[in-house]
Amino acid sequence: MITARSVAVSVVLGATLSVMAMRLSLSSGYLPVLTVPAGLMSLFLSRSWVRLLDGCGVAQLPFTRQENALIQTFVVACSDIAYSGGFGSYILAMSRSLMEEGDADAGGRNNVEEPHMGRLVAFLFLTSFAGMFAVMPFRNSLIIRHHLTFPTGTATAHLINSMHTPHGAKQAIKQASVMFKSFGGTLAWSLWQWLFAGGDGCGFQSFPIFGLAAARNGFFFDFSMTNIGVGLFSPYNITISMLAGSLLANAVLMPYVKTKEGIWYPRGNHFAYGMFIGISMVLADGLFHLLCILLRTLRAIHKHGHSQLAAQPFMCLGVDDRPPPARSFDDRRRAQVFLRDRVFDPAAVAGYVALSASAVVIIPRLYPQLRSGDVAFAYLVAPVFAFCNAYGTGVTDVTVAPTYGRIAVVAFGSWVGLDNGGLVAGLAAGVVLVSAVSTASDLMQVFRTGYLTLTSPHAVFVSQIAGTALGCVINPLIFWMLYGYGVYNGGGPVASYAKMYRGMVELALSQQVLPRHSVMLCKVSFAMVLAVGVLREVSARRGWRVGRYLPCTIAVAVSFFLPPEIPVGIFVGSVVVYLWRRIDGDGARARLPAVAAGLICGDGIWSLLRTMLLVSNAQAPMCIMFLSASVNKRLDAFLATLPSSS
């Protein structure tokens, strides 16, 4: 499946998108999800390749869906390092220019490390592969046994499959037509919305679906087609759990915590409670599922004590002694292809151990403020965080890698101490955790795409490794060209974004204690998630009906990190599914995946276009706002007092 032409297209497209991703990361501090744009561009470039050679008289077979899936995997792995490598945040926050602009006395020379090309390349090679090796043994469990959705990977697979529809498959052609209509409609609707977003608080992005009082607390509908598409893919239990978690966090917990401002915590630090509680819930749910997988592995080894399974214990991390649910012929065929090419899992474990040992020796030489023991601890806990984030992304399509990075920045910086270079140590540790956690979820996303496109897991993993390796070289080169020549050297929006990270670390290191009662709330949340997990597992094995009414704890936990409009949008998608199935059940089953893929793909392309509009300082021409009747009357009265224009 890995061909010379697909490698050539991958390298060209990966380098091109890396330049764009680095520019966006440095100019805005934000990088949109490039999975869908990479899939579309790979399809366009591959077809242009074939037409060009055909025009030159060189006969070429069309690119296969497997080649397109591998190109997309390579390109995303290469370009995502522009964000997961922390160039616009962690790396730039270590620079001398930001320290000189800020508090020059806070930290001294120990808290400054100028970015150098060689150091960045070596550092990225040690950090960017950790997450992939860490979650490789769990791919069968996440993709086959749990059958996690991974909505972005699923949408990309539907896009690729639709572009390779056989001419005789009428149903597939209809689905492709529905998907592209949904795709085009999403782009047109997003552009029309943008025309009315010409100021702060303007546009349909804050539609008060629950009233103005709820909208002031964040519970409004933002017309995000991605959120609706995720809701179309997600089961009802997931969407209801996310909405319940958002209500618990933003309508119950945070309003109560705000009343304790100045008593439990300093002014403005109430967000720390939601972050700590969410992290504890994510860890509890992830550790519970990880423990269940390990216990099933031990049972399988004991049951097949003298078989090949016992000789290679990591091979059975996806097994289960319960009968699998009945699935369609397509799913059984996909599972057969996915399981046929076994990746040698002990090699992945050995690779992670070797990588960790190398990092413990080399990273303290690259960043002397980070001690060998700190690096060892970071690589010890990274697999747990990586698995938790991969599982959460598979359920909700939301990655909380930046949150793990912020936690690592504060934790490691506090352990080292500000006087000993804790600022640089925390920022470097943040890159370690963000890279490991982000690449783990990215790998599972592309495994899901490969599963749906009948692409070999061997080929997907090799493409991911190759794309990451190129990204570890080309992204530092692009960054050095932009930074070294003064394009983004301490000025513009990126200075504010990187300065935010530096200021966050300085503020955290100046605080000697955690917010009051935060540890107690984390313990209670951790225990409750474990209790729900045990009850769900027991209910599933004994057939108790209560199991179907238990919330999805990872969905509840992820909602603590999200603004309320995201769970609201996903819930609206579920409402659409429910009504559609009630009106036309057969039509819903046939067209739902195509519609959802079109919504997510269209919104993914629009997010890229919107970011380019922001970079070019383009302004929407009109403004629309939602006001209460009383405010509108006062506004009309005020406007009546103004002199009319001649």
408 closest CA partner among 90, 106, 31: 90
pLDDT at 619 over 70: yes
pLDDT at 313 over 50: no
The torsion angles phi and psi of 197, rounded to 5 degrees, stand at: -110, 50
Rounded Cα distance, 552 and 575, in Å: 18
pLDDT at 281 over 50: yes
Per-residue burial over 78-108, b = 16 or more CB atoms within 10 Å of its CB, e = otherwise: bbbbbbbbbbbbbbbbbbebbbeeeeeebbe
70 closest CA partner among 134, 127, 144, 13: 13
Write the pLDDT tens digit of every residue in 45-60.
777 777 777 778 776 7
Torsion, Cα 577 583 586 588, to 10 degrees, reads -20
Write the pLDDT tens digit of every residue in 396-432.
787 878 878 878 888 888 888 878 888 889 899 999 9
437 closest CA partner among 384, 475, 363: 384
Rounded Cα distance, 84 and 376, in Å: 20
465 closest CA partner among 431, 442, 433, 434: 442
Q: What local confidence, expressed as pLDDT, does residue 472 receive?
A: 94
The torsion angles phi and psi of 265, rounded to 5 degrees, stand at: -155, 160
Better-scored residue on pLDDT, 64 or 247: 247
The least confident of 137-146, 486-495, 607-616 is 486-495
Task: Give me the percent of the chain exceeding a pLDDT of 90.
Answer: 18
Residue 124 in 3-state DSSP?
helix
Better-scored residue on pLDDT, 307 or 541: 541
Give the DSSP per-residue string, 192-224.
Answer: HHHTTB-STT-SGGGB-TT-HHHHHTT--B---
Q: What local confidence, expressed as pLDDT, does residue 558 receive?
A: 80
pLDDT at 308 over 50: no
92 closest CA partner among 421, 424, 364, 378: 424
Task: Output 605-611 pairs: Cβ under 8 A, ≥24 positions apart.
Answer: 605/36, 605/37, 605/40, 605/183, 605/187, 606/186, 606/187, 606/190, 606/191, 606/225, 607/32, 607/33, 607/226, 608/32, 608/34, 608/37, 610/190, 610/194, 611/24, 611/28, 611/30, 611/32
The residues spanned by each domain of the chain are: 4-189+207-509+518-615
List the structure tokens of 348: 């992945």
How many DSSP H helices and E strands does the chain contain?
29, 0
HEC profile for 519-579? Answer: HHHHHHHHHHHHHHHHHHHHHHHHCCHHHHHCCCHHHHHHHHHCCCHHHHHHHHHHHHHHH
Q: What local confidence, expressed as pLDDT, does residue 310 receive?
A: 41
* 101-127 mean pLDDT: 76
Residue 421 in 3-state DSSP?
coil
345 closest CA partner among 469, 463, 449, 458: 458
Q: What local confidence, expressed as pLDDT, does residue 399 receive?
A: 81
pLDDT confidence band for 29 (50 / 70 / 90): low
Residue 438 in 3-state DSSP?
helix
pLDDT at 303 over 70: no
Q: List the end-to-end C-alpha distance of the chain, in Å, as a whole number.
A: 70
